[in-house]
A and B are shown apart, each in its own frame.
Chain A
Amino acid sequence: MSKILDDLRYADSHEWVKLDGDIATVGITDYAQHALGSIVYVDMPEPGDEVTAGEEFGAVESVKAASDLISPVSGEVVEINSDLEDSPELVNEDAFANWIMKVKVSDPSEIDSLLDAAAYAGICEE
């Protein structure tokens, strides 16, 4: 059974978000890393890039497949997790601790339309 953290919000494309002030930390869920299998590469944006909710911001490549990463929020990328450049497998080890990007959000209310833990758990059950 995949781990789902209660204090996060989720997109149905299997990204998680944690909002702290106007900074959103984004990663992929434990369910997603499990479904992908061994991750060999994370294609990340660069700090300063603009991301838009619902649009691609990078990709994650595993031994099974390459999947687009869809941004759950809009805003400017302020930081990326550079540890993942050399050690993408960290996402497999702990998908919630090993976030992918931090975004200064332009509209914090966007997060309200995302799923809460219970609703996301429902999607993973399907």
Chain B
Amino acid sequence: MKYYDKLVFELSRPGRKGYELPADNYGNNALQSLPADLLRRDEAQLPEVSELDVVRHYTNLSMKNFGVDTGFYPLGSCTMKYNPKINEEVAADPAFTAIHPLQDAKSTQGALELYYNLQRALSEIAGLHEFTLNPYAGAHGELTGLMVMRAYHIANGDEKRTKVIVPDSAHGTNPASAMVAGLQVVEVKSKPNGSIDVEDLKPLLDDTVAGIMMTNPNTLGMFETEIMEIASLVHEAGGLLYYDGANLNPLLGKVRPGDMGFDIMHINLHKTFSTPHGGGGPGSGPVGVVEKLARFLPNPKVVKNADGSFGVSTGSESLGSVSTFFGNFGVMMRAYAYILTLGKENIRNVGPLATLNANYIKESLKDDYLLPIEGACKHEFVFDGLKDKSTGVTTLNVAKRLLDYGFHAPTIYFPLLFHESMMIEPTETESLETLDEFIEVMHKVAREARETPDAVKDAPLTTLVRKLDETGAAKNPVLTYRQYLAGESK
């Protein structure tokens, strides 16, 4: 069934069904009380299928998925680490799934305690005073963090501070979040190794600076060694430092953003703290701050009362609510399970092992792939395509060929600092055997590029859907089944 490609609508046969509804004991009251213009006039176009049709359809579709559970997923900047199944077991507990945020706090003590404890654990790991877990994902965390930054300057009567400095190598979400938060973006240049150019930064630091957004390690996986100097320069100028937690994984339990001088940060629980993402589940972007900023964090907050019980509170100086209730609680349960499973000692091994794995792949492949920046990287690194460019085989071709060999492609064409970027992040959860298999396949693809370049340019050769027409897809997107049928009939 490898080539299964049906839609559930194509399986539909009139009158076929796999369910039986109970008798209507309530006299259809809902239909009578709805306004006539809201009532459906035609039958809903739902597929009519048997239970067996449904089971086979979705089982076959699921076999076409690629995920961390099926293979190596070295997608740079995404931290596609394994999602331990104990997390799922914890998150599925009806003691948590069957409660509602509007229940009396007395009846939800366990959930509030979990929120509070996770908030404390993240504060300890980050070296910051307090976290909100309410934001839904990374970019939402950035927006929340920048709203805190803005609220702080306004509370100080310093409303002219509207400038946010963002490195030219930053993730695109950084300038986008700053714009949405009503701040102006100013770019600071990075040096060839992706680090911030301190000399380029200095002239930007005037009394209109709200803050600077950084990752450390930076987008090229290199540690910003001048971070302490940057922090004191920005603080002297009256600005705040924002840490984008996208690259937190190599530092986990080793280096704390708060100790590096950062005032605000977000954490991607769905990256660093092993919760599913990339189509596998929603994200969560907790935001942590230093003590002087805690009063601006969003409502509602979970507090521990003097008697040891937990309650919900709203702060009067808070920037307000950024989500419905407490954000994605199911994700928090998984992240908390992960932290407790590892414990204080084991969590310190995450960063070093992630770093070791990335460096092992980098050093093993730099004979065939162009490594623009020598030296030890952290959890990820960037190749600038194949070393031998004469064959015309591009990073896109290599990425597609990897699919034929059962590996997910790395992140490609990001960062924009190089033309043929290929960003590889193995994470700490992969075994030496898996890393060796990947290295062998990458060498094999480089060999194929030299010997049979045209075949590599046609890749993928064994997937259900072959090479996609990306230009055609961008120019004439087919986004619905109806559009697809309309195209077929032409």
Contact = CB atoms under 8 A, between A and B. Distances in A.
B471 interface: yes
B413 A40 contact: no
Interface in B471-488: 471, 474-475
A15 interface: no
Contacts of A39: 471
B470 interface: yes
Nearest to B470: A63
Interface string B356-394: 000000000000000000000000000000000000001
Interface in A39-82: 39-41, 61, 63-65
B464 interface: no
Contacts of B474: 40-41, 61, 63
Contact of A40 (B396, B416, B471): B471
Contacts of B419: 35
Contacts of A61: 474
Interface in B403-417: 413, 416
Interface range, A side: 10 to 19
Interface residues of B, number: 9
Determine the main DSSP class of B at the interface with A.
Answer: helix
A89 interface: yes
Nearest to B413: A64
Contacts of A38: 470-471
Contacts of A65: 413, 416
A65 B394 CA distance: 15
A41 B475 contact: yes
A63 B475 CA distance: 10
Contacts of A40: 470-471, 474-475
B476 to A, nearest CB: 10
A11 to B, nearest CB: 18
Nearest to B472: A40
Interface of B: 394, 396, 413, 416, 419, 470-471, 474-475
22 contacts: A35-B419, A37-B394, A37-B396, A37-B413, A38-B470, A38-B471, A39-B471, A40-B470, A40-B471, A40-B474, A40-B475, A41-B474, A41-B475, A61-B474, A63-B470, A63-B471, A63-B474, A64-B413, A65-B413, A65-B416, A88-B475, A89-B471
